[in-house]
């Protein structure tokens, strides 16, 4: 079974951030994604990998 593709909006909802932030993360390569004719796409597996890689980082104070 293949992983369904997630849109920028799908990822933004899961990360609780703006779609603009997600597009920046995709462009920087922070989250593995592909740019298609209809916009950026990633998989749940790639999003989970990103979340797992950042879950142990200390939070920055603002």
| 4 vs 6, residue with greater confidence | 6
33 in Cβ contact with 41 (< 8 Å): yes
- For the stretch 12-55, pLDDT in tens is 999 999 999 999 999 999 999 999 999 999 999 999 999 999 87
Phi, psi (degrees; rounded to nearest 5) at 36: -115, 180
* C-alpha to C-alpha distances, 7 to 23, 31, 53, 56, nearest whole angstrom: 10, 12, 21, 25
Q: Terminus-to-terminus CA distance in the chain, angstroms?
A: 42
Secondary structure element (H or E) that encloses residue 39, with its range:
strand 39-43
Secondary structure element (H or E) that encloses residue 50, with its range:
helix 44-54
pLDDT for the residue numbered 2: 81
């Amino acid at each position: 079974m293949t992983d369904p593709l997630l849109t920028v909006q799908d990822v933004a909802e899961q990360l609780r951030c703006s779609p603009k932030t997600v597009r920046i993360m995709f462009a920087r390569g922070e989250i593995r994604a592909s740019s298609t004719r209809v916009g950026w796409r990633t998989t749940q597996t790639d999003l989970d990998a990103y979340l797992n890689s950042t879950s142990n980082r200390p939070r920055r104070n603002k």
